């Protein structure tokens, strides 16, 4: 069993030892961290957190578009750690999560993965 350390930058730098096989939401909640969540299948964005450093496997997430991913967002209910990570959690970390879609459109490469056009493909 491999464990990693998850540091919550916006909760006083509190650090938690987590199992790499479990979703981060589950590991952190089991250790008493009070986090928002909703669907628990990676589709609803309620549990989004901002990754300051580290690496996760979040292949199962369906909620984030590529701009949100480029801004560091991860979906805690399905993301599993692949290294030690530092995160900002909760709604306080959602400053770049929401945008007015009429005022701030996405570029083709910033759409969700299944419909995005990669930057290099446009050439």
Contact residues: other proteins, CB under 8 A = 34, 36-46, 62-65, 90-92, 94, 97-103, 105-106, 111-112, 115
3-state SS class at 26 = helix
- State in angstroms the smallest separation of the CB of 59 from other proteins: 13
Reported in sequence order, the residue ranges of the chain that DSSP labels E, i.e. its strands, are 3-8, 14-19, 48-53, 56-57, 73-75, 80-81, 85-88
Nearer to other proteins, 56 or 64 (CB): 64
Q: How far, in Å, CA of 109 to CA of 92, rounded? A: 27
Nearer to other proteins, 81 or 90 (CB): 90
Nearer to other proteins, 23 or 42 (CB): 42
- State in angstroms the smallest separation of the CB of 40 from other proteins: 8
């Amino acid at each position: 069993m491999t464990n990693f350390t998850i540091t919550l930058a916006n909760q006083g730098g509190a650090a938690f030892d987590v199992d790499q096989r479990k979703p981060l939401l589950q590991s952190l909640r089991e250790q008493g961290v009070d986090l928002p969540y909703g669907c628990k299948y990676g589709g609803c964005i309620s549990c989004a957190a901002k990754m300051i450093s580290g690496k996760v496997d979040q292949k199962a997430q369906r909620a984030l578009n590529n701009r949100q991913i480029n801004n560091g967002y991860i979906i805690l209910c399905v993301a599993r750690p692949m290294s030690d990570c530092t995160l900002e959690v909760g709604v306080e970390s959602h400053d770049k999560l929401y945008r007015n879609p009429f005022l701030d459109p996405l570029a083709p490469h910033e759409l969700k993965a299944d419909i995005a056009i990669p930057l290099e493909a446009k050439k």
